[in-house]
Amino acid sequence: MANVPRRIAIITGTSGNLGINIAYRLLKEVPKRFRLTIIVTSRTLVKANKTIHQIKDYNEKKNLRSDGYLDFDYLLLDFSDMVSVLSAVHSLEENYEKIDYLFLNASQNTHDHFNYVEATKEMLTDPVRASTNPGYKIEKRGVKSKDGLGLVFQVNVFAPYYLIEKIKGSLLAKSDDARIIWISSILGRPENFSFNDMQLLKTGMAYGGSKRLVDLLHLATYKELKDKYGIRQYLTHPGIFVSYTYTRFLNVFMYYGMLALFLLARWLGSPWLNIDGWKAANAPIYVSVKADKEDDQSLKYGSACTKGGEEYLKTTTVDSTGKDDVLQYLETLKKEWDEKFRDQITDSRKL
Ligand SMILES: NC(=O)c1ccc[n+]([C@@H]2O[C@H](COP(=O)([O-])OP(=O)(O)OC[C@H]3O[C@@H](n4cnc5c(N)ncnc54)[C@H](OP(=O)(O)O)[C@@H]3O)[C@@H](O)[C@H]2O)c1
């Protein structure tokens, strides 16, 4: 096996509906001459193991990759804990010589409740908005992680950025075709974010705000990653699909009501109602395995589908206002965390 060329992929949050479908599609799309290693990440060992079994079963059922051409590893990674991020970096550097694909898919929100009056109004008057930009999903404000950072900001933006910063030179640059794939959202709208609230602690739209930050961060960093490290970074979004995170809050009537609403919005002409995790993974898979040097990295690659549910790729442009401010903020915060970690190491050596 020593001479078999290898592709190594990390998918953060592999256990979610999109994460696991990215894994399924990689089995199919990464050319079979490569030995594919999928590094599953989860906050718990139980979920990591379960996810690996699901992917293995899928491979066997579909007869996709033969023995020796597929293997797995896992990382216990919690983006709400910077020590966990740093441990993941050490573990990767110890066990791998390179990383080819880094899918930044894990995300968190601070869902509080549904405003049912608003939901009914929106569904009756504007089903497309109710599906693609709902005003009835109410988030908790001001939630901090145990690291003292805005929770949604840390999990969705800062910790993945920190991970990139730590492995871009040591692992990603060692690949002959490294790709970083950010999973954003159509909710990354400028109006969901304010520069006076970088850690998204005052807003009731922290989730959408975090995706706007991702969009700006991508625009501020992709050129340097390519020119200095030979890494191609892409910005994608999966459209709308059934999220395991949200289905936890729904009873059976609400679940089927949601599916009916999504189908109606698709029929009314929204291209983003993929519903299914497999179709939602179209854009992330395209940029990781199929995109070539001609594909414009300043665009946002979206997974879209026709009224009949046929998948296609749809790109959109992103307003870049404030990208440098975002990068500067994150660079400063990164330096602060580097200092904190340095101090911790010194402290532990004191007698
Ligand atoms: N669903 C949609 O319609 C939609 C629309 C637009 C964009 N998106 C984006 O698509 C991506 C995937 O969505 P999804 O609905 O499949 O995902 P999800 O269920 O919201 O989350 C995916 C995974 O992230 C992991 N995760 C959560 N908190 C974490 C933390 N603190 N540290 C590390 N991992 C953490 C969880 O894995 P473990 O529990 O195993 O740790 C979870 O299974 C997300 O980035 C989401 O924002 C989704």
Q: Tell me if residue 179 falls in helix, strand or coil.
A: strand
Does the active-site annotation cover 80?
Answer: no
In a domain, 28, yes or no: yes
Does the active-site annotation cover 243?
Answer: no
What pLDDT is attached to residue 251? Answer: 87
pTM of the complete model: 0.96
CATH number at residue 32: 3.40.50.720
In a domain, 164, yes or no: yes
Cα distance between residue 22 and residue 18, in whole Å:
6
Query: Between these two residues, 105 and 246, which has the higher pLDDT value?
Result: 105
The CB of 188 under 6 Å from ligand 1? The reply is no
What pLDDT is attached to residue 206? Answer: 98
Q: Domain containing 55: what range?
A: 6-345
In a domain, 93, yes or no: yes
In a domain, 351, yes or no: no
Segment 211-238 shows an average pLDDT of: 98
The CB of 262 under 6 Å from ligand 1? The reply is no
Q: 346 pLDDT exceeds 90?
A: no
What pLDDT is attached to residue 178? Answer: 98
- Give the number of the atom of ligand 1 that is nearest the alpha carbon of residue 243: 15
- Give the number of the atom of ligand 1 that is nearest the alpha carbon of residue 81: 31
In a domain, 1, yes or no: no
Q: 177 pLDDT exceeds 60?
A: yes
Cα distance between residue 110 and residue 22, in whole Å:
24
DSSP H or E stretch at residue 198: none
> How do residues 95-122 score in pLDDT, each as one tens digit?
999 999 999 999 999 999 989 999 899 9
Say how many domains are in the chain.
1
In a domain, 101, yes or no: yes
Q: 326 pLDDT exceeds 60?
A: yes
Q: What whole-number percentage of the chain has pLDDT above 70?
A: 97
Q: Are 161 and 131 contacting, i.e. CB atoms less than 8 angstroms apart?
A: no
| Residue 14 CA, ligand 1 centroid: distance in Å | 8
Does the active-site annotation cover 314?
Answer: no
Q: Are 289 and 179 contacting, i.e. CB atoms less than 8 angstroms apart?
A: no
The CB of 51 under 6 Å from ligand 1? The reply is no
Lowest-confidence region among 93-97, 131-135, 297-301: 131-135
In a domain, 350, yes or no: no
Going from the C-alpha of 250 to that of each of 242, 245, 253, 255, 257, the distances in angstroms are: 11, 10, 8, 6, 10
The CB of 185 under 6 Å from ligand 1? The reply is yes
In a domain, 141, yes or no: yes
